[in-house]
Amino acid sequence: MTLRNTTGYVAAVLAASTLAWSGANANDEVAALAADPANWAIPTGDYANTRYSKLSEINADNVGDLNVAWTFSTGVLRGHEGGPLVIGDTMFLHTPFPNRVYSMDLNDEGRIHWMYEPKQDPSVIPVMCCDTVNRGLSYADGKVFLYQADATLVALDEKTGEVVWSTSNGDAGKGETGTSAPMVFKDKVIVGISGGEFGVQGHLTAYNISDGSMAWRGYSTGPDDQTLMDPEATTHLGQPVGKDSGTATWEGDQWKIGGGTTWGWYSYDPDLNLVYYGTGNPSTWNPVQRPGDNRWSMTIFARDVDTGMAKWVYQMTPHDEWDYDGINEMILADQEIDGAMRKTLVHFDRNGFGYTLDRESGELLVAEKFDPAVNWATHVDMKTGRPQVVAEYSTHQNGEDVNSTNICPAALGSKDQQPAAYSPDTKLFYVPTNHVCMDYEPFEVEYTAGQPYVGATLSMFPAGRVTENGTDNLGNFIAWDATKGEIKWSNPEAFSVWSGALATAGNVVFYGTLEGYLKAVNAETGEELYRFKTPSGIIGNVTTWEHDGKQYIGVLSGLGGWAGIGFAAGLTGDTDGLGAVGAYKSLSSYTSLGGVLTVFSL
């Protein structure tokens, strides 16, 4: 670490010392660590989830000279999402199930200080819908926070790896599991819950970092005392939500198994004291079995960090009929819209719309398609906020046991959890996307606790089959102007881009591909400047840090996740001449399973 980053240096030294910071100061400590670009101190880079680094030693002029500095095998062969934390001289790295945590010495090319591996019942493996992924760790107050597959949240001593405290955030026997990265805001660590395909009742929960006691829990569905809503003060597009809005649009007790899980990313605005996140699909995938808007599934939430009370909500996809989870990251950026600076929140939803909202009031400012192939809705009505659903693609209107065809996007969305990045230099958002469409057939299912509760079959294929423009790419990496809702440039990718992006002050943007390439592109033009094929497909998020005055880029390889499962055997459709658009190209001819961190430098 260089001495010029004085603030971060002091913070890092203090953090590493035996003088533990008191819980109340954890926010200051984490904020100081994250403000120093030498660190990657929180999973999202910063509270605002921009994934932008001020480092510029590696830049558009020299990134072509990038080389591998060192590599590290995690010892686990599953989908590796997320990325490492770097704090001072130490890297903290997680793995998928069994959820190992490594503390590594950056002064010695990643030599292991300690390794922690929890004991978990393997029966949790098959109740994780889309691979045994984990999206990363958090750090504060001398503790490393791991959110295990079995929904146990543990705090580890950052010096020894010993468990300081441990608490259960869910029951894996009911299909409640953990995949998301915990986030530390103020003196709390925030965690969500996975299990939308098992009929869980989703919630976001805050634990006190000092002792692991629960501070608050806000459910996505349920009466006001569970959703932490005030009928008058909590608003939806400026209007009070009214009494028990989390049950009013459900039939009977379906809300109790109604999903609305919270397995994505969480952002935080310290000035407004609000945490932002999105909720997932309503359960089941068969919309006919759950009439109504199914509030507050598919919803952007703004909650008070101290109390959990919801300030405002916006439901993007009322009564979901396609599994368009709303859990993707909320990126906080101040932008000029119609001549006025606004505190905005930008969100690229599974449903294919890129939303820009005022993050203070929840006012909807922009809602435009970020993939031209999106066809399930014509547009979003800016007054009501409701997507205007095209009847042909409505799986509810078509009904149970009817195969609705050629719906774009597919259930995995125009974008899934793979996070976008925002550069304040170019004022552009860099978005890893999917370009996949589907057929979807809902049918009746019965609920049993801990068993899959899905109720639809679907098949997926390249969007080119629907747009009939002769393309067969399954993904695009795009640059987006969120003030207007316009694509600035778009690079086609053979497969879905399932890796999180990194923007840097060096005018370079990084991302990974499912074939295993780490790519660097010009932030202004999208021109490819560098690629390197890592040991396995990349579904991890690219990170950067500085050590001994040198900038490093790091990314996890390890094919898996929903994309890895879905595409490993190729896509469907030998019955309708898909060979012409190459639907059979298979990821397994490019890469295989892995679990490796690759670190680059000049």
Partner 1 sequence: MKNKFHVPLLLLALACTHTVNAGETAAEDIPKYVVEDGKVDKATFNGYRRYHGTCHACHGQDAMGGSFAPALTESLKTVDYDTFVKTVMEGRQATASGGAVSAMPAFANDPNITKHLDDIYRYLAARSDGELGAGRPPKLPKPKK
Task: Supply the residues annotated as catalytic.
Answer: 323
Sheet of 239-240, strand order: 239-240, 235-236, 310-315, 299-304, 274-278, 267-269
| Binding segment toward partner 1, per CB under 8 A, in 146-154, 220-228, 422-430, 444-452 | 444-452
Segment contacting partner 1 by CB under 8 A, of 123-131, 200-208, 266-274, 387-395? 123-131
- In which residue are the tokens 């590594």 written? 104
Q: What is the CA 171 to chain-centroid distance, rounded? A: 22
- Of 337, 570, 585, 602, the one binding partner 1 by CB under 8 A: 570
The structure tokens 């929904």 sit at 151
Strand partners, 208: 188
Find the farthest-apart pair of alpha carbons in the chain and give their distance in angstroms, rounded.
67
Q: Is 129 in the site for partner 1 (CB under 8 A)?
A: yes
| Listed ranges 134-142, 375-383, 416-424, 438-446: which one lies at the site for partner 1 (CB under 8 A) | 438-446
State which residue, 385 or 455, has the beta carbon closest to partner 1. 455
CB of 5 to partner 1, least distance (A): 40
CB count within 10 Å of CB 491 equals 17
Residue 80 beta carbon to partner 1: minimum distance, rounded to whole angstroms: 12
Query: Exposed, middle or buried: residue 289 (CB in 10 Å: 0-12, 13-18, 19+)?
Result: buried
Query: Scanning residues 395 to 414, which ones bind partner 1 (CB under 8 A)?
Result: 403
The footprint of partner 1 on this chain (CB under 8 A) covers a number of residues equal to 49
Tell me if 83 contacts partner 1 by CB under 8 A.
no
Name the nearest CA neighbour of 147 among 264, 61, 3: 264
Closest approach of Cβ 122 to partner 1, in Å?
5
Task: Identify which of residues 95 and 483 has a Cβ nearer to partner 1 in the complex.
Answer: 95
Give yes or no for residue 572 binding partner 1 (CB under 8 A). yes
Amino acid at 492: P
Would you count residue 574 as binding partner 1 (CB under 8 A)? yes
Q: Give the integer Cα–Cα distance in Å for 228 and 363.
A: 20
Residue 433 contacts residue 370 (beta carbons within 8 Å): yes
* DSSP collapsed to 3 states, 202-271: CEEEEEECCCCCEEEEEECCECHHHHCCCCCCCEECCEECCCCHHHHCCCCCHHHHCECCCCCCCEEECC
Question: By C-beta, is 107 or 457 nearer to partner 1?
Answer: 457
Stretch that binds partner 1, among 60-68, 148-156, 210-218, 557-565 (CB under 8 A): 557-565
Asked if residue 555 binds partner 1 (CB under 8 A), the reply is: no
Among 445, 523, 538, 555, which residue sits at the site for partner 1 (rule: CB under 8 A)?
Answer: 445
- Based on CB atoms, which residue is closest to partner 1, 198 or 348? 198
Q: Give the residue from 321, 322, 436, 444 showing the smallest Cα distance to 371.
A: 436
Footprint on this chain of partner 1 (rule: CB under 8 A): 75-79, 97-98, 122-123, 125-127, 129-131, 197, 403, 439, 441, 443, 445-446, 448, 450-460, 559-560, 564-566, 568-576, 593
